[in-house]
Chain A
Amino acid sequence: MAQIRVENLRKAFDQFTAVHDSNFTIENGTFFALLGPSGCGKTTTLRMIAGLELPTGGRILLDGEDVTFRRAAARDIAFVFQLFALYPHMNVAQNIGFPLKCQGMGRRETSDRVLETARLLRIEHLLTSKTSRLSGGDRQRVALGRAMVRRPKAFLMDEPLGALDAEFRQLMCGELRELHDRISATTIYVTHDQHEAMSMADCIAVMNAGRIEQIGTPQEIYDRPASMFVADFIGSPPMNFLYCDAGVDADKHVVKFKGVGIPIPEISEKHPAGALVLGVRPEHIRFSDSAPVRGRVFGAEYLGTTQIVTVVTEQGTVKARLPSSAPVQVGETVGLAFRFNSLSLFDAQTGAAIRTASQQTMSRERGGHG
Chain B
Amino acid sequence: MADVSLRHVSKRFGHVNAVRDLSMVINDGEFVVLLGPSGAGKTTTLRLITGLERPDEGLISIDHRDVTRDPPGTRDIAFVFQQYSLYPHLTVYDNLAFPLRSPARRIPEPAIRKRVEQTAELLHITGKLANRATKLSGGEMQRVAIGRALVRDPAIYLMDEPLSSLDAKLRAELRLELKRIQVELGATILYVTHDQVEAMTMASRIGVVRDGELLQLGTPREIYENPADRYVASRLGTPSINFLPAGLIPDAATPPGAETIGIRTEHLQIAKASGGEIVGRVHRIEHLGDQNHVHLEYRGQMLVTLADPHQPLQAGQEVELQLAAPLYFDAAGQRIAATIH
Task: Report the tally of A-B residue pairs with Cβ distances under 8 A.
Answer: 79
> Complex: how many Å from CA A177 to CA B264?
23
A12 CA to B292 CA, complexed, in Å: 39
Q: Quick one: which of A178, A282, A303, A304 has the most chain B CB within 10 A?
A: A304
From A177, A181, A234, give the contact of B289 (CB < 8 A): A234
- On whether A321 and B180 interact (CB within 8 A), knowing A177-B284, A302-B221, A305-B266, the answer reads no
Task: Confirm or deny: B179 has a beta carbon within 8 angstroms of a beta carbon on chain A.
Answer: yes
Q: When the two chains form the complex, which single residue of B176, B237, B290 contacts A310, counting CB atoms closer than 8 Å? A: B176
Determine whether B195 belongs to the interface, using a CB cutoff of 8 Å to chain A.
yes
Task: Report Cα–Cα, A281/B264, bound state, in Å.
Answer: 25
Complex: how many Å from CA A219 to CA B183?
38
User: Does any Cβ of B come within 8 Å of A222's Cβ?
Assistant: yes
Cβ–Cβ contact A218 & B289, under 8 A: yes
Does A218 lie within 8 Å of B264, measured CB to CB?
no
List chain A residues, Cβ under 8 A from B194.
165
Mark interface residues in A309-331 (1 if CB within 8 Å of B CB, else 0). 01000000000010010000010
Contact B289 A301 (CB under 8 A): no
Binary contact readout B174-195 vs A (1 if CB under 8 angstroms, 0 otherwise)? 0110011001000000000011
Query: B233 CB to closest chain A CB, in angstroms?
Result: 11
* A contacts with B: majority SS: mixed
> Chain A 225-240 against B: per-residue CB contact (8 Å), 1 yes, 0 no?
0000000001111000
Query: Which of A223, A234, A237 interacts with B172 by CB under 8 Å?
Result: A237
Q: Assess whether A8 is interfacial by the CB under 8 Å rule.
A: no
A283 on the B face (CB < 8 A): yes
Partner of A199, one of B220, B224, B236, B286: B286
The answer to the question of A198 belonging to the interface, with a C-beta cut-off of 8 Å to chain B, is: yes
Chain A residues near B45: list those with CB within 8 A.
none
For window 261-286 of B, CB contacts with A under 8 Å fall at 264-266, 284, 286
Q: Mark B200-243, 1 if CB is under 8 A from A, else 0.
A: 11100000000000000000110010000000000011100000
Q: Does A287 contact B (CB under 8 A)?
A: no
Residues of A within 8 Å of B306, CB to CB, are 305
Given contacts A222-B290, A235-B290, contact A304 B180 (CB under 8 A): no
Instruction: Name the distance in Å between B219's Cβ and chain A's nearest Cβ.
Output: 9
Complex CA gap A222/B168 in Å reads 18
CA distance A321 to B306 in the complex (A): 15
State the Cβ distance, B287 to closest chain A Cβ, in Å.
4
With A301-B175, A305-B265, A305-B266 as contacts: A181 and B200 at CB distance below 8 Å: no
User: Quick check: B290 and A281 within 8 Å, CB to CB?
Assistant: yes
- Alpha-carbon distance between A301 and B224 when the two chains are bound, in angstroms: 14
CA–CA, A181 to B284, complex, Å?
A: 10
Answer yes or no: A299 CB below 8 A from chain B CBs: yes
Contact at A304–B236, with CB atoms within 8 Å?
yes
Docked CA distance A178–B283 (Å): 10
B197 within 8 A of A: yes
Q: A201 → chain B, closest Cβ, in Å? A: 9
| CB-contact partner of B264 in A283, A302, A305, A330, under 8 A | A305
Number of interface residues of A (CB under 8 A): 34
A279-291 to B contact mask, C-beta < 8 Å, 1/0: 0011100000000
Residues in B with CB closer than 8 Å to A299 are 176, 179-180
User: Quick check: A303 and B168 within 8 Å, CB to CB?
Assistant: no
- A298 within 8 Å of B (CB atoms): yes
Name the CB-closest residue of A to B201: A301
Residue of B nearest to A308 (CB): B201
In the assembly, what is the distance between CA of A303 and CA of B266, in Å? 13
Q: Is residue A195 within 8 Å, beta carbon to beta carbon, of the partner chain? A: yes
| Assembly CA distance A218 to B290 (angstroms) | 11
Chain A residues with CB below 8 A from B309, complex form: 219, 222-223
Smallest CB gap from B195: residue in A: A166
Q: Are A199 and B293 in contact (CB under 8 A)?
A: yes
Which of B201, B266, B295 has a CB less than 8 Å from the CB of A302?
B201
* A295 → B minimal CB distance (Å): 15
> Does A199 contact B287, Cβ atoms closer than 8 Å?
yes
Q: What residues on A are CB-neighbors of B195 within 8 Å?
A: 166
Q: How far is the CB of B59 from chain A (nearest CB, A)?
A: 33
B288 within 8 A of A: yes
Who on chain B is nearest to A365 by CB? B310
Check if A199 sits within 8 Å of B288, measured CB to CB.
yes
8 further A-B pairs in the complex, CB-CB below 8 A; given A174-B286, A195-B288, A305-B306: A165-B194, A166-B195, A181-B284, A193-B168, A219-B289, A283-B290, A298-B180, A304-B264
6 contacts between A and B (CB under 8 A): A281-B290, A301-B176, A301-B202, A302-B200, A302-B220, A302-B224
Point out residues on B near A: beta carbons under 8 Å: 168, 172, 175-176, 179-180, 183, 194-195, 197, 200-202, 220-221, 224, 236-238, 264-266, 284, 286-291, 293, 295, 306, 309
Q: Which 4 A-B pairs have the closest CB atoms?
A: A222-B289, A301-B201, A218-B287, A283-B290
